[in-house]
Structure 1
């Protein structure tokens, strides 16, 4: 039996110039009922507020490459994103015993990939999640990230949680919003939350 997934974090702004996730996080913070599900406690996070404020992908280094166990344990790695990663790891992880059962990390891309669900692993939970999203959203593309032998060495932010996925939607130029891309991102997030709610029941 797969254990219940109760604590979910939805993260936007891991790359500061990808505006869709940041916009949706602020929308959901104002209207939390949109992401509320009875069995879930949903937290929203802006991962890289400084880069977003400066309209840059990152300040010093790509935040979405800073979450390997070795980097997180190395306190000499102290630039803005490396420091931010350590804070986020404590909030969402730590990987050895995560606070979050599921991390959903929102990205947009300039490439024309449509609404894409990126999985970190190919375990039964991820396969069921992907099947459900594909059923509800046939235009969705499901993509398996290059699997790591050991999730503790995965560099993506989403690897902090017990489970983690990325939603990546395009095409959208950096630093702007497109309504269709935003809607696809919001729909896919909703389908993931619905799946987890069904999984728990």
Structure 2
């Protein structure tokens, strides 16, 4: 009598007492094992046509979205994936005069969360001179790293006043501080800046 695998995954294993049948043996193994692997499909519709009754924990890769999906018992959920690893800003554009990489070095990465692209920033930028109550360009991103719509964020500064950081659709990374900060701002931090859906 046939049994199952030692890991409780439901893979049927033929017993020595079973009548020889290579086709049944091969199909039992293939059908059980394939559903436990990462299955590849051209699209969600192709997946739906093939997997009509998905089981919780099944994992698939869709070629049209280049994303990994896991079935949670109710729906297929896109898994986080890395689009661009942490990359120094110096490789993504150019600093304006008077601005430079600080410690920790400013970096950017791009990830996909639940099918939505997210850009994240970290690190600090040195400032040699900054006029308060004015918007000043620190850095300009190359075209591949510019959001369709500009976004503005609060950020820490060495003067203990909150700075306003803007990542503009033109690619400029600008900073402004309140007049109370005076001219003593020597560094701003990008930690926590996060753009969700930069194509919007």
Global fold match (TM > 0.5): no
Please give the range of the TM-score, normalised by the shorter of the 2 chains: under 0.3
Compare the two structures and name the one with the higher helix fraction.
1
TM-score by length of 2: 0.26
TM-score by length of 1: 0.26
